[in-house]
Amino acid sequence: MTENGFMYLNDCVSIERGQYNNLRRVSNGLYEGSKLPAPEPTNVVEANQCHEAKEQLLASREDKEIEQASRKVRVLCQF
């Protein structure tokens, strides 16, 4: 879950873990000087597939479409 849904590639985020996982955008200054590893290309591809599946679910209108898109999200967006 994100606070407003507007996150872009290379944004700095804070991960809040508890009963739910939340991502919150934070200032780039928080990470200045840190040596964070670049994301693995396979992770980026998987994240994009998950995002596309969620967008498809949100665009679904018919029950059958919703069920298929829900299954796709469950498969592609497992952590």
Q: How many domains does the chain have?
A: 2
Q: Where are the alpha helices (DSSP H) in the chain?
A: 41-59, 63-76
pLDDT at residue 33, rounded to an integer: 67
* Range(s) of the domain holding residue 42: 37-79
Residues 41 and 78 in one domain: yes
Residues 32 and 44 in one domain: no
Residues 44 and 21 in one domain: no
Residues 53 and 67 in one domain: yes
Residues 43 and 73 in one domain: yes
What whole-number distance in Å separates Cα of residue 11 and Cα of residue 3?
14
Residues 20 and 50 in one domain: no
pLDDT at residue 1, rounded to an integer: 46
What whole-number distance in Å separates Cα of residue 46 and Cα of residue 62?
26
Q: How many CB atoms lie within 10 A of CB 53?
A: 19
| pLDDT tens, residue order, the chain (79 aa) | 444 566 777 777 777 777 777 777 777 776 666 666 676 777 788 888 999 999 999 999 999 999 999 999 999 888 5
Pick from 54, 39, 37: which is nearest to 2 by CA? Answer: 54
Residues 10 and 26 in one domain: yes
Phi and psi based region of residue 32 (left: phi greater than 0; alpha: psi -120 to 50; beta: remaining): beta
